[in-house]
Structure 1
Amino acid sequence: MRGGRWRRIARQIGRSVAVWAVSTVTMLVLAGILPDFQLQSPDGDSATDIAVTAALGAGAFGVLSAVFWPLLVRLLLLVPALVLGLLVFVLNGVLLSVALRLVPSGDSEAAPETAVIVAAVMSAVASATGAALAVRDDDAYRRRLYRLADRRRRTLPPGPSSPGTVFVQLDGVGHDVLLAAVDKGLMPTVARWLGGPRASHRLTRWHTDWSSQTGASQLGILHGSNFDVPAFRWYEKAGREVMVCNRPTSAAELQRRAVDRTGDPGLLAADGASRGNLFSGGADEQALVLSIATRRRSRENRSRAGYFAYFSDPANAVRTALSFVAEVGREIGQSTRARARKVRPRVGRGGLYPLIRAFATVVERDVVVAAVMGDMLAGRTAVYADLVAYDEVAHHSGPRSGDAEKVLARLDRSLALIENVAEHAPRPYRIVVLSDHGQSPGETFRSRYGLGLGDLARAGCGLPVPRRARRTHSGAEARAAVRAALRRPVEEGAGQHRPPRRSEPIVLASGNLGLVSFPDVPHRMTKEEIDARHPALLTTLANHPGVGFLLVRSERNGGVVLGAYGAEIPLDRLDEDPGPLEVFGPHAADAVRRTHSFPNTADIMVNSAYDPADGEVLAFEEQIGSHGGLGGAQSEPFLLSPLAFSPAAGDGEELVGAEGVHRVLRRWLRESDGPQVPLTTAPEERAA
């Protein structure tokens, strides 16, 4: 035992000496490269004196960083996080300038801007060296966690003995994608939780609502209601505005509506923290939460937890910045290879996308994971965090692409980090991993047919469309259908029928779900009204090979599903005759009926075609991995829960809908014997 302790001490000393030596060499190299950075007097010093000066400067910089940097960050916690990220580099440069002045020779100096560069490079090199030396040393990593935990315990009262719960959402990871990644060895942490006689977790498949996207799913999971969220974006006739789930004003309004409907602040109201989410879940502690982005900053809504844990090490900001640049390069390289190999399907990945991808896969991940670590070391009762990296990459590279698989491997390492932190938290923690939806592959509607859904809808209305769309087979068929419906001749060059400007539709897309609304009509139009104004529109859409089915309101039947060849199935008959819904699975009918009950359902709801043989859909957006409607893996996310919790669903039962997941998570919080969290009453029961 004592021999092992001395070996650990020797390894620690060896790592420290190695990092010091590498930092010294880095300082010497930078002094030779940068004209405004010198380590010798104007008269010149010997090589030995310069080396000693560099060693003393590197040592002083390391000591100052270790001692004073955490204090500086504590003083700057009131500074917004993004500003603090920039100040990291400036303050790092200040510490280097002070370190150089402490060197006995007094000959070392650096211009202010040069000091910032030198400090950033030295921090990055020192961090990389330390990580490389300690990557296989679990004892070193555990000791660092112990120090973080001890620091927390000295400033906080003892934590409760009841378990806390951490919910980690892997955005967009489908149930089957997770299993495939485990089978390939990409996610060893998840494999260990699931595999063998020592398995600690169980895996449950659940089924989304028709709107299989983060806005609807996460609102239902965190707040117990996603009523009247028909898609990711939709037009509301009452307010005459387009709602978009990831727009701060829309997210805040959706959260307010959910709270009003349930009468409950959310899943995280009892000592909870919300990290990287669209909605707060009622948590007091929030970081990167969209629904509070429009509020004026105050002590109540400023996010602090996690930022100290992240920025207290100045190398973190440097490492994240370098990882950001590396990720941009990785995306450019991967997209270039895809173009060179003529990979199909493929979408454009230029413009700002490499930067957006790097933010999602590096910056958001680092800050959110650091915040979760801080929450656990603080002993919070419930934490919900969303990691969006996979979803962003899969949209553009494909759900099962090599690019997306590499992201899954990095996310698994984040789960391992959270698991390790849990061992040193002031209370036991149970880790639940879940997804909000999956993704279905397939080429885009536009790439297959040469025109978008908006072009097709306009052509079906007899409105002008771009010349390229008119020349496509679909565009020509739509124009012919309009002329036939209006009993007009079909000669080439005949003038197009142009209805009044007021009847032009608003066409929006959410993955493979399309929404057509007529803004000049204050109510949801019926099939009969649409046919009267645009006789060819519904048949044009329903008979298109890229469309699976339509949902419209009917004066005679209340609501109907329309399909090709004149199929028209009333909603109350879908169980006995699913018609075009049959291919979409047993839960499709209930999902469609539920969406039909929403006040803000569009005049025409359009779901793309779905091929069950290969699981492919046709996105109405420029995405080759999409979600938002029905069809395939997008509707089948997962719930990975500790065996200590009761099963998510009973034997032979299936977990359906985000609101159902909310009730399960509520039950698990009660089972943890923490603060009693009341089960949200179902809206129907409250109305009764």
Structure 2
Amino acid sequence: MRMAAWRRAGGAVLRVLVVWAVSTLTMLVLAGALPDFRLQSADGDTATNIGITAALAAGAFGLLGALVWPLLVRALLLVPALVLGLLVFFLNGSLLWIALSLLPDGRGEAEPQTAVVVAAVMSAASSAASTFLAVRDDGAYRRRLARLADRRWRRAGRREVPATPGTVFLQLDGLGHDVLREAITAPEGDEPLMPTVAAMCRDTHRLVPWHTDWSSQTGASQLGILHGSNEDVPAFRWYEKETGEVMISNRPSSAAELQRRAAARSGHPGLLAHDGASRGNLFSGGAAQAALVLSVSARRGRHNRSRAGYFAYFSDPANATRTAVSFVAEVVRELLQAGRARLRGERPRVGRGGLYPFIRAFATVVERDVVVAAVLGDILNGRTAVYADLVAYDEVAHHSGPRSRDTHQVLRRLDRSVALIAKVAERAPRPYRLVLLSDHGQSPGEPFAAHYGLTLEDLVRAGCGLPVSRRARRSVSGAEARAAARAALHRPEDGHGAEPHRVTGPGPVVLGSGNLGLVSFPGIPGRATREEIERRHPALLRTLADHPGIGFLLLHSERHGPVVLGANGAEHRLATGEIVGHDPLAPYGPRAAEAVLRTARFPHAADIMVNSALDPATGAVHAFEEQIGSHGGLGGEQCRAFLLYPRLLSAPDEDGELFGAERIHHVLRRWLREAESAPVLPTPIPARVPLH
């Protein structure tokens, strides 16, 4: 035992010396390459003295980073997270400047901007060396994680790690079942896009599809999954007549209100109420630990400051350096990919300029890195239930298409994130079950405005006999990454380009939610009936129903109750099942009528609910937003999400096909109950997954 302890101590000292040596060599190289950075006195020095100076400076910089850096970042926790990401470099440079000032005889000197560059490169080099040594020495890596987990447990006041399994629910936002099947199926003689997930499917897990509600978007799906009720959530955004406000799922105030309503309806705080953590989600799920959660992003309390997740990540300067470099690389990658799409004349195509490259980089780099780091911390902390959302695929698919080369690159990186989580779970203080799922899929197709030359609002106004604008306006995307970026900037609801809270004026309110449109008439109290709309606007319903880009309309009839209208006078009377002419819902599958009828009963369903047309051959739809990969309504792969779960868990579909987010909530709750009484055996997660 004593020899083993001495061997471990010797290995630790050796690793510190190697990292110190790498930092020293990096500093020497930079001193030779940068004219504004020197490690010698003004009169010159011998090579030996310069080497000693570099070693002293590297040691002082490393010591300051270990002792002072976490205190500086914690003091700046209230600074906007993206600003903090940039400020990290200046703080790091300041520490290097202080380290150089401590050298004797003024041997170290650097211009401020040079100090920032040197500090960033040194942090990256030392981090790479430390990670390489830890991964090479598996025993050291295991002990390092064990010490971290033990320290976090002591800090939390717990004396014993639970022996029952914990569960990690990892949501791959917007990834449809069919796209995932293709990503884990290897072409002949090649490796699949997602080798880690493919190994899970082959060895330990089972993949099943589940069908979303009519509102196939994160707001409705994640609210149902985490809180057990998505009642009265007709779309991503909708107008509420009694208040005159537009509810938007990714606005913090709306998300908080939706969470409150769902908890009141379901009678419990949420899926994660017992020792849970919510990471990167729209809603908290009742978790006491919430980081990067939109519904609590506006809070300022010490225990519910969701942005504290940024501190946990940026408190390591190496993390900040690595993420910043990847962020810049992703912006450049997007600019090149967008340029290539324009040069090739790819169709359909949407605008990818403005802030989009930065929003994409935030979703695919910053949000991913911070959320994954938070999940790893939860695993090492022995948390009972963790639910995390990675939005990278969804954001890129909106602009590049669900099966584009751009999304393939994102899927490869998401697979590496899954691999890292699985690897750390193998060394956690308790066994873990890893469940992957999505909240919806994506359907391809050219935007409605691009294909037909006018927006849905233009069409509604024309049908009402009102003036129509000469140019189509861009709809604000419903992508979750945009709201997360605004929250990170401390501007969750305000600022240029934000969607309106209130609607004024008597004209129709027209909103888009993927390929689902909503039309409301503020001047008509309550739900406007079909008969009332026809009296006021005789041409409107036929203008909409007969348009080739629209599949069907949902209205409420005084005579027949909820009714679906299609082209050429077709009707589907949902209360009785009576069909006049061709069934407008036939192209949308056997469960379409059930999904539409459920939404028709929502108090805040719009006066007219509009679903775009569906191409049965290709599964293409027309989004009422500027998206070539969309979701939000019925039609195509957007309605087919996936659930990938360990085979040792009970089957989720004992009563038939999985339908609706609320059903998924009950399945996940059942699995958490099963874990509470499970025998103390490690969950088989693919072994020896490479650490990235």
Tell me the C-alpha RMSD between the 2 structures.
Answer: 3.0
Q: Is the 8 A contact 2:145 2:380 kept in 1?
A: no
Partners of 2:592 and 2:401 lie apart in 1 by: 24
Please state whether the residue corresponding to 2:243 is helix, strand or coil: coil
Q: CA deviation at 1:76?
A: 6.9
Query: Structure 1 residues 79-88 or 59-68, which shifts more?
Result: 79-88
Structure 1 residue 523 and structure 2 residue 517: aligned? no
Q: 1:164 aligns with which of 163, 166, 169?
A: 166
Q: CA deviation at 1:88?
A: 3.5
Q: Equivalences for 1:39-188 in 2 at 5 Å?
A: 39-66=39-66, 69=69, 85=85, 88-103=88-103, 106-111=106-111, 114-128=114-128, 141-155=141-155, 156-184=158-186, 185-188=192-195
Q: CA deviation at 1:631?
A: 0.4
Cα 1:440–1:17 shift into 2, 3 Å: same
Q: Equivalences for 1:467-482 in 2 at 5 Å?
A: 467=470
Partners of 2:64 and 2:361 lie apart in 1 by: 31
Cα 1:411–1:144 shift into 2, 3 Å: farther
Q: Is the 8 A contact 1:164 1:674 kept in 2?
A: no
Please state whether the residue corresponding to 1:383 is helix, strand or coil: strand
Q: CA deviation at 1:502?
A: 6.5
Cα 1:415–1:173 shift into 2, 3 Å: same
Structure 1 residue 335 and structure 2 residue 342: aligned? no
Q: Is the 8 A contact 2:275 2:384 kept in 1?
A: yes
| CA deviation map 1:76-123 (0-9, x unaligned) | 778775665455434423432343345455411335554333212221
Cα 1:112–1:466 shift into 2, 3 Å: closer
Query: Structure 1 residues 253-262 or 17-26, which shifts more?
Result: 17-26
Aligned partner of 1:46: which letter? T
Task: Please tell me whether Structure 1 or Structure 2 has the larger radius of gyration of its CA atoms.
Answer: 1
| CA deviation map 1:368-395 (0-9, x unaligned) | 1111111111111111111111100000
| CA deviation map 1:229-278 (0-9, x unaligned) | 10001111111111110011111111111112122111111111111111
- Equivalence for 2:660: 657
- Equivalence for 1:589: 593
| CA deviation map 1:403-461 (0-9, x unaligned) | 11111111111111111221222221111111000000111111111111111111111
Please state whether the residue corresponding to 1:346 is helix, strand or coil: coil
Q: Is the 8 A contact 1:445 1:453 kept in 2?
A: yes
Figure out how many residues of one structure are paired with residues of the other and give that number.
639
Cα 1:541–1:646 shift into 2, 3 Å: same
Structure 1 residue 260 and structure 2 residue 264: aligned? yes
Q: Is the 8 A contact 2:573 2:579 kept in 1?
A: no
Query: Structure 1 residues 222-231 or 185-194, which shifts more?
Result: 185-194
- Equivalence for 2:480: none
Q: Is the 8 A contact 2:331 2:360 kept in 1?
A: yes
Q: Equivalences for 1:265-414 in 2 at 5 Å?
A: 265-295=269-299, 297-303=300-306, 310-414=313-417
Partners of 1:93 and 1:232 lie apart in 2 by: 44
Structure 1 residue 230 and structure 2 residue 234: aligned? yes
| CA deviation map 1:154-191 (0-9, x unaligned) | 54422111111111111000011111111141111111
Partners of 1:278 and 1:144 lie apart in 2 by: 33
Please state whether the residue corresponding to 1:580 is helix, strand or coil: coil
Q: 1:645 aligns with which of 642, 649, 661?
A: 649
Partners of 2:252 and 2:307 lie apart in 1 by: 20
Partners of 1:265 and 1:240 lie apart in 2 by: 28
**Unmatched runs of 5 consecutive residues or more in structure 1:** 470-500, 676-688
Cα 1:80–1:373 shift into 2, 3 Å: farther
| CA deviation map 1:35-83 (0-9, x unaligned) | 6532121222234433442233224423543465456667777877566
Q: Is the 8 A contact 1:53 1:105 kept in 2?
A: no
- Equivalence for 1:245: 249
TM-score if structure 1 supplies the norm length?
0.86
Please state whether the residue corresponding to 2:387 is helix, strand or coil: strand
Cα 1:445–1:32 shift into 2, 3 Å: same
Cα 1:174–1:138 shift into 2, 3 Å: farther
Structure 1 residue 669 and structure 2 residue 664: aligned? no
Q: Is the 8 A contact 1:153 1:426 kept in 2?
A: no
Q: Is the 8 A contact 1:223 1:662 kept in 2?
A: yes
- Equivalence for 1:614: 618
- Equivalence for 1:189: 196
Cα 1:309–1:235 shift into 2, 3 Å: closer
Query: Structure 1 residues 666-675 or 636-645, which shifts more?
Result: 666-675
TM-score if structure 2 supplies the norm length?
0.86
Aligned partner of 2:420: which letter? L
| CA deviation map 1:318-348 (0-9, x unaligned) | 1111111111111111111111111111100
Structure 1 residue 215 and structure 2 residue 219: aligned? yes
Partners of 2:620 and 2:130 lie apart in 1 by: 46
Partners of 2:347 and 2:594 lie apart in 1 by: 34
Partners of 1:352 and 1:276 lie apart in 2 by: 21
Please state whether the residue corresponding to 2:184 is helix, strand or coil: helix
Aligned partner of 2:289: which letter? E
- Equivalence for 2:444: 441
Cα 1:138–1:411 shift into 2, 3 Å: farther
| CA deviation map 1:617-671 (0-9, x unaligned) | 11111000000000011001011111222111116x1011011111111111111
- Equivalence for 1:473: none
Q: CA deviation at 1:465?
A: 1.1
Cα 1:570–1:333 shift into 2, 3 Å: same
Partners of 1:621 and 1:93 lie apart in 2 by: 44
Q: Is the 8 A contact 2:296 2:305 kept in 1?
A: no
| CA deviation map 1:280-328 (0-9, x unaligned) | 1111111111111233x11231248755653443200111111111111
- Equivalence for 2:553: 550
Aligned partner of 1:31: which letter? A
| CA deviation map 1:463-490 (0-9, x unaligned) | 1113467xxxxxxxxxxxxxxxxxxxxx
Q: CA deviation at 1:21?
A: 5.1
